[in-house]
Structure 1
Amino acid sequence: MRILAELLDDAAVFPPGNASIEEAVAGHVRHLRSVHACLVGPLVLAAKDLGELEVVLGDRPGHSVNLTLTVPLPGLVPATAVARAIRSVRLVGLEVALPDGTSAAEALAALDAADLDSDLTTYVEVPRDARRADVLAALAGTRYRAKLRTGGVRADLYPDETELAAAIRSAVALDVPFKATAGLHHAVRNTDPATGFEQHGFLNVLVATARARNGADEAEVVELLAERDGGRLVEQVRVLDPSVRDAFCSFGTCSVDEPITELVDLGLLDPRYMKDLA
């Protein structure tokens, strides 16, 4: 489905996947050579891993990767230069974390001062604190996008439906494209049986974003994020305008295989997409 194209950013090294750099590169190359390559976005790595990435790629001649780099705002310029210098790497994106206390105005000034190349898709992680509204408003009308945190390794890192709905509706109202990071381990809203964490579904986010773009109020967006019936979500995904992806760009997943398997099981992808899964 065109609406799922490049939806899955390959974040295999991040929890709970915790793949080594070598494993992540090998897995990413496998995905890019597979029948499901059209669903896969860039490899996502932290700036601290660039040295190891260079070593691993040096042992794999002929392989190249599109890379999105997660980096704290103060280290943005040097990390970008290091990534650009690695052979077999095409730096396509940045995901920038703001230090505690950094205001929206300070963040935007630092990004502008970094004079980033126009070919870099740059996301700014929106803090889950009082700065959220200001940061989203500051991103409006710029070339920078938003990164919304949707989970993590602790229960408190998961925003509830009301918080996430407010962030999505704000981003949509301001015409700020966004990606999601962490916690979207399944297609449909669920309770993780191992941890008890309430986890958002990536199809829920997709449908909720589409409805927000059509003017849905907060209560409706909250209800869609809470929906646990996969069949109902699938019905809505099938009729979505693909332009919703202009708003919800992608999400980081520590496993590309698992979301594809779930999408096949839900009937949104042909079983052939599972041909090259590990």
Structure 2
Amino acid sequence: MNALFAGLFDDAAIFPPGNVPMPEAVSAHRARQGSPLVGPFVCSLARFGELAASAAGTGIKVSLVLPGPVDELPTAGGIDVVAVEGPRLSTDGTLTTYVEIPCTEVTATRVAALRDAGLRLKIRTGGVRADAFPTEAELAGAIWAAVRGGLAFKLTAGLHDPIRHRDPATGFEHHGFLNVLLATARALQGYEIGRALADQDGDRVAAAVAGIDEVLAKAVRHHFVSFGTCSVSEPAAGLRRYGLISEAAL
């Protein structure tokens, strides 16, 4: 498995637009836990009780989405909360913590504050409305600030496809996760990254990603940790389409 893709897909099947029922989502995640592509199961605090009922005794790693700071995290047998994510969070150093900030508000100053506090960044890259998708320039600015500031980040929403494209059904412009991997690599190399995010030539982007060596790949994933996706099978199929993973990877 190429280090660029290991644990890249956080399983957010229960979130829109997938909206998979909790028992079905947990069952599918359990079946994929041996896959090197799949990270933790993403669940909101409001649905933790449902998760606990569906996952009893199964040992699922969870990234818990919080509405804001909470006094105490819930616990349940078989559930291992390995990360939390949400707005205005702080950390005591015991859990990986992602603070969600609007893409346009990711500045060098805020990046430095998160880094110095031992926090990570979460950026929303899509949703059910057109205005939930940041522009290429907005996302480029946020990625550049995070990489140059030495901050790890995750993305969420709108990244099912590996390559930037316009959805024919909604007309929304979706970012591609291969574009983001390539842009992160280019930022580490000190290059302008807007072009990497904008490129819609799948073969060209895939070839450039395939050319990233082991040392650079490790640095890329140190920053771009993962992205939440309500479909794990779709991005995996995209990687197979470009010959970047084997059929047996998922």
CA contact 2:103–2:139 (8 Å) conserved in 1: no
Partner Cα distance (2:51, 2:138) in 1: 36
Partner Cα distance (1:247, 1:227) in 2: 21
CA contact 1:126–1:136 (8 Å) conserved in 2: no
CA contact 1:126–1:132 (8 Å) conserved in 2: no
Matched, 1:90 2:90: no
User: Which residue of structure 2 lines up, in the alignment, with residue 4 of structure 1?
Assistant: 5
Partner Cα distance (1:64, 1:209) in 2: 33
> How big is the shift at 1:205?
0.3
Partner Cα distance (1:72, 1:184) in 2: 22
User: Which residue of structure 2 lines up, in the alignment, with residue 69 of structure 1?
Assistant: 64
Partner Cα distance (2:65, 2:28) in 1: 19
User: Which residue of structure 1 lines up, in the alignment, with residue 163 of structure 2?
Assistant: 188
The alpha-carbon distance between structure 1 residues 230 and 131, as it changes in their structure 2 partners (threshold 3 A), is closer
| Match 2:229 to one of 253, 259, 267 | 253
SS at match of 2:55: helix
What are the superposed Cα offsets for residues 222-262 of structure 1, whole Å, 9 maximum, x if unpaired?
A: 11101011111111111212221001010001011111111
- Count the aligned residue pairs: 245
Taking the TM superposition and a 5 Å limit, the aligned residue runs for 1:38-187 are: 38-58=36-56, 61=57, 63-74=58-69, 76-78=70-72, 80=73, 82=74, 85-98=75-88, 111-112=90-91, 115=92, 117-118=93-94, 120-130=95-105, 132-187=107-162
SS at match of 1:72: coil
What are the superposed Cα offsets for residues 84-105 of structure 1, whole Å, 9 maximum, x if unpaired?
A: x20001110010223xxxxxxx
User: Which residue of structure 2 lines up, in the alignment, with residue 222 of structure 1?
Assistant: 194
Unaligned runs of 5+ in 2: none
Unaligned runs of 5+ in 1: 99-106
SS at match of 2:53: helix
CA contact 1:10–1:40 (8 Å) conserved in 2: yes
- Structure 1 length-normalised TM: 0.84
Partner Cα distance (2:155, 2:141) in 1: 14
Q: Structure 2 counterpart of 1:154, which letter? A: R
The alpha-carbon distance between structure 1 residues 131 and 6, as it changes in their structure 2 partners (threshold 3 A), is closer
What are the superposed Cα offsets for residues 180-223 of structure 1, whole Å, 9 maximum, x if unpaired?
A: 01111200000001100000000000000110111113xxx111
Partner Cα distance (1:130, 1:30) in 2: 38
SS at match of 2:227: strand
What are the superposed Cα offsets for residues 130-178 of structure 1, whole Å, 9 maximum, x if unpaired?
A: 5755432311233211011111110000000000000000001110110
SS at match of 2:18: coil
> How big is the shift at 1:127?
2.4
Partner Cα distance (2:108, 2:17) in 1: 29
SS at match of 2:203: helix
% identical equivalent positions: 44
SS at match of 1:3: coil
The alpha-carbon distance between structure 1 residues 65 and 262, as it changes in their structure 2 partners (threshold 3 A), is same
> How big is the shift at 1:129?
4.8
Q: Structure 2 counterpart of 1:185, which letter? A: H
Partner Cα distance (1:196, 1:263) in 2: 23
CA contact 1:10–1:253 (8 Å) conserved in 2: yes
